[in-house]
Structure 1
Amino acid sequence: MAASTITERPVHRVENLVSDEDQHILNMTPDEARRRLLADDAARVLDIRGSFALVARDGERVRLARSLSRPLRYFLAKEAAGPLLVVADRIDAIHRFLAAEGYTNQFHPTYTRMVPAHHVTEIALVGCPDPNPRYTRFFTPAMATLPADLDLIGRRYVEAALAEIHTWLDAVPPEEPLGVLFSGGLDSGALLLCLHDALLQRQESPARLKAFTLSVAGGGADAAQARRFLRETGLEFLLEEIDGPADGLDPRDAVRAIEDYKPRDVECATVGLALLAGIRERYPAWSWLFDGDGGDENLKDYPIEENTELTIRSVVSNRMLYQEGWGVDAIKHSLTYSGGLSRGCVRGHAPARRYGFRLVSPYTSPNEIAVAEGIPFYAISSGSHERLYALKGEVLSRGIRQVLGRELPVFAKRRFQHGAMENEAFDALFSGDTERYRGYFLAQYAPRA
């Protein structure tokens, strides 16, 4: 990363570009959170509630940690006085800082490093050409501890989501409006019902809540599904449809926003940017949004057949596979990007950040993931893909029925990007070509003639 003349010595300078105002910590101050990060017991980081991306220094020790719902990156550069560690939530922020310091020649986007979710990353002595960080896990949920009782599992899962929502609502001023990025699917549908119920429990007006649904050029199946969901639940008054112009969607802009090139994340971010742009245009002062990100990962609702590296056994036997990827010690682990949702979180975080929203993803909280990891997936599915895919509908519908006393409409699974537009428009817009998207990203940093 830096020139080979660096010998091992302590980090000389740490520049943290993530301000305390960017932290959304719900139960302590940023200084208290940093003290926990420096504690001998890494598990104390688990006490930090909310959304955070932290760096703390104690002499020669530098520690970093983050929530699953947001990125945190770092880069090591060389100065005459010693190594310089730059910490930020975006690659382009690191690049701009280095350019201002006169160190552009040391930078390449692939030399940046992502702090993996659920780990404390420690850099004590920095050698060359790369730092040798030490990872200590602070969140290790037990696997398959619950009985194969779908009613019990559903109740525990929805109770955890509702508790997380209440924790966030405690931090939101009661006059602030609340939005849900809504398709009428299982995750956003259960989230909307929980938010509505939480407001009623708190004797606050549900009129402050809206369900925002995107329709590109008047097409896509999500708008009709959202209308049907809200009609069946008696909440039609919450719906707000956002019409996105087809010429306003640009996958290259999504690549710039998320600083990544995985096709599914590029597609999701492309339509997410259109939805958020429409909300911002209509409501210039709106701040708080909730989404269902993390729900598919928790309940393992991804088509295994689309990934030749996966089997149902690997999906259900590897702790938090969809949240973290193969793990920090695996050969397949990307130092630049991390893995799983630890990498993919940018698909929601970056578009929301661009348009000035505070995005809350309750399903990504450790308490919710702990319930999900306790599900005996293999015992319930008996190795059947179809039973595994049906599980999320069973868990959420049973949980909503028991906890809220309501029926959750269940529709066939559809990705956000597919539901926002007609199939022909989708095929014309997205190439699905990883290398093409990677080229868009790297071209931003290519030397100019």
Structure 2
Amino acid sequence: MLKGVERLVDLIGERQSAMTAPYSQGVKEAIRVGDIAALSHSDGHFAAAGRDGQTVRLARTLGMPLRYFVAKMFHGPFLIASDRIDTIFEWCQSEKIGWQFDPLYTRMVPAHYLVEIDQIGCPDPAPRYCRFFNPPIASGPADIDALGASYIEGAKASLGRWLRAVPVGEPIALAFSGGVDSTSVWLLARHVMETLGRDPNLIRAFTLDLGGGKDAVQAETIARELGLADCWEPVRASAFQVDLEEAIAVIEDYHPLDVECAAVALCLLGRIRERYPSLRYLLDGDGGDENLKDYPLEDSDLTLSSVLRNPLLYQEGWGVDAIKHSLTYSGGLSRAYVRTYAPAQKYGFEAFSPYTDRSAMAAALAIPFESLTNGDVERLYALKSEMVRAGVLCVTGIDMPTPPKRRFQDGAGGDINGAGGESYRQWRVSKAWCRQVFLRQWSERLREAWDPQADRFSGNDLSRPFPAAL
């Protein structure tokens, strides 16, 4: 390995959102030198990479994906960092080392960890992981009103930081299903806008309707109940416009529920972009289900015990040391948030959900779920509506309606066969099919790179110029 060669190709730079000035100014340097204390005390979202001698460090929060790939150039490892797999591949192709690339060899930095990788040659050493988010678990009182107020205050704090960074007078879109999470975000965002002396009507809610969708009916009902019908807009589209294969390419993943969610999001955001070409800012309620453990256990191999005794299971998966942890994809919402991030990025939106922020997440982790549920699954399912409603009432003074839970892709209605109003289960797809599409898409992209006759550089070639990105 040649000494003094810069071996970090940083294609993401420093990304951050909803951070206050003292933290935002020093987060990249904290990552570079491995300052866990500084990262622990920071707020908002960030993703960045830095190099300190032979060690590269990377870190991210839940709302900003970060990936890396280790290639071999100039007698040693080169680490390429980006938010997307295809961006890493395109850089490798530009340097004629695409033949080294495989999408399954890329790695996702798990949310809330500082990852350290020593660049010392072959074989590549395993990365080291150090947590920087360690909130108290189940430390709150067994009081729904108090817990709800704390949770919503956390969400309000993060919304305040994000909205202050939005230029005065800029309109803001809200992906709105009329469910608990999106309704609470709408009310909270309006409340924060008023406290900032801004017009709350700049926030406009949009609901996708693929034909007979329950969300559209529910959303209109909620908007009228709240007196906000003038700030709500249905977005009607054909179910034929929901493109699952496009969604797989956009999110670069093959988990079926995330593919379906992303496909519906792409349909919604594409229509909004057509109507409002200059609209930039986007709010949603992603993360609310994960924080308050509001997923049907019958749809998975999870048990009540596994959910309650692994506090960050829905946010981070089983954890970096678990056998089920995917190095390529991380776990939980740490993996799945790409379903929100990537569609928004494709259509030029800056997306944010207060429920993915650590301030709201820490308040949720303080909830003593085991004592509140006492082993009753139905009680767990009821907690979210009760807690969010109580919190919104405490913080804003508004008694918000709480309709039954429904997945985004379910409530949009329609199906790919055109039978309007049918459940999304009519067009649900298997993980096997999604993975096959993912591998086929990459097989087509890699055909040229993997061609033995293609122009390529060896990792041992010292005569070539250094990469332009360095």
Shift of 1:427: 5.0
TM-score (norm 2): 0.90
> How far apart, CA to CA, are the structure 1 residues paired with 2:401 and 2:170?
28
Distance verdict in 2 for CA 1:42–1:221, change over 3 Å: same
| Aligned residue identity for 2:393 | R
Match of 1:300 among 287, 293, 302: 293
Matching residue of 2:94: 100
- Classify the secondary structure of the residue corresponding to 1:52: strand
Alignment of 1:416 with 2:408, yes or no, is yes
Q: Would you say the 8 A contact 2:34–2:57 is kept in 1?
A: no
* Contact 2:290 2:333 (8 Å CA) reproduced: yes
State the alpha-carbon separation in 2 of the partners of residues 130 and 220 from structure 1.
51
Q: Which residue of 1 aligns with 2:114?
A: 120
Superposition pairs of residues 81-92 of structure 1, within 5 angstroms: 81-92=75-86
2:244 is matched with which residue? 251
Partners of 2:116 and 2:69 in 1: how far apart? 13
Q: Which runs of structure 2 are paired with 1:325-340 in the superposition (5 Å)?
A: 325-340=317-332
Corresponding residue of 1:439? 436
Q: Is the 8 A contact 2:173 2:204 kept in 1?
A: yes
Moved more, 394-403 or 346-355: 394-403
The aligned counterpart of 2:57 is: 63
Matched letter for residue 181 of structure 2: D
Cα distance between partner residues in 2 of 1:92 and 1:25:
27
Corresponding residue to 1:154 among 148, 155, 160: 148
In structure 2, relative to structure 1, the CA distance for the partners of 1:40 and 1:266 (3 Å cut) is closer
Match of 1:183 in 2: 177
- Equivalent pair of 1:10/1:126 in contact (CA under 8 Å): no
2:209 to 215, 218, 223: 215
| Aligned match for 1:384, one of 345, 370, 376 | 376
CA gap of 1:126–1:212, structure 2 versus 1, over 3 A, is: farther
Taking only the aligned residue pairs, the percentage that are identical comes to 47
What is the SS of the residue equivalent to 2:57? strand
Q: Equivalent residue for 1:163? A: 157
Alpha-carbon distance in structure 1 between the residues aligned to 2:191 and 2:28:
34
**Structure 2: unaligned runs, 5 residues or longer:** 449-470
Determine if the alignment matches structure 1 residue 195 to structure 2 residue 189.
yes
Aligned residue pair count: 440
Counterpart contact for 1:16–1:88, Cα < 8 Å = yes
Q: Name the structure 2 match of 1:232.
A: 225
CA distance in 2, matches of 1:346, 1:9: 37
How far off is 1:431 after superposition? 3.9
Return the match for 2:364 from 354, 359, 372. 372
Aligned to 2:9: 15
Sort the Cα spacing of 1:10 and 1:148 in 2 relative to 1 into closer, same or farther, 3 A: farther
| Structure 1 residues 204 and 443: CA distance shift in structure 2, 3 A | same
Q: Which residue of 2 aligns with 1:272?
A: 265
State the secondary structure of the residue aligned to 2:245.
helix
Following the alignment from structure 1 to structure 2, what is the Cα–Cα distance between the partners of residues 318 and 298?
12
Instruction: Note if contact 2:110-2:330 (Cα within 8 Å) is conserved in structure 1.
Output: yes
Task: Select the residue among 387, 400, 407 that pairs with 2:399.
Answer: 407
Aligned-partner Cα distance in 2 for 1:339–1:11: 34
| Letter aligned with residue 194 of structure 2 | L
CA distance in 1, matches of 2:431, 2:2: 37
CA distance in 1, matches of 2:245, 2:136: 40
Please give the secondary structure, in 2, of the residue aligned with 1:351: helix
2: distance between equivalents of 1:429 and 1:385? 27
**What's the secondary structure of 1:38's corresponding residue?**
helix
Corresponding position of 2:457: none
The Cα of 1:219 is off from its aligned counterpart by 2.2
Structure 1 residues not aligned, in runs of 5+: 1-6
Residue number in structure 1 paired with 2:303: 311
Asked if residue 361 in structure 1 is aligned to residue 361 in structure 2, the reply is no
The answer as to whether partners of 1:11 and 1:83 remain within 8 angstroms in 2 is no
Match of 2:313 among 308, 321, 326: 321
Instruction: Give the C-alpha shift of residue 420 in structure 1.
Output: 0.4
Scaled by the length of structure 1, what TM-score is found?
0.94
Tell me which amino acid in the other structure corresponds to 2:157. A
Are 1:26 and 1:171, in contact at CA under 8 Å, matched by a contact in 2? no
CA contact (8 A) 2:239 2:414 kept: no
Query: How far apart in 1 are the matches of 2:347 and 2:271?
Result: 10
State the SS of the aligned residue for 2:442.
coil
**Structure 2 residue 136 is the aligned partner of structure 1 residue 142:** yes
CA distance in 2, matches of 1:9, 1:345: 38
Residue 72 (str. 1) matches residue 70 (str. 2): no
Summarize deviations over 1:265-304 as a string: whole Å, max 9, x none: 0000000000000110000000001110110000000011
Distance in 2, matches of 1:138 and 1:113, equals 19
Contact persistence 2:85–2:252 (CA under 8 A): yes
Q: Residue 395 in 1 paired to residue 387 in 2?
A: yes
CA distance in 2, matches of 1:73, 1:23: 16
Report SS of the residue matched to 2:315: helix
1:170–1:300 distance in 2 versus 1, CA, 3 Å: same
State the SS of the aligned residue for 2:206: strand
- Deviations, residues 326-348 of structure 1 (Å, cap 9, x unaligned): 00000110000000000001000
Q: d(CA) in 2 for partners of 1:448 and 1:62?
A: 31
Aligned residues of 2:2 and 2:75 also touching (Cα < 8 A): no
Report if aligned partners of 1:95, 1:107 keep a CA contact under 8 Å in 2.
yes
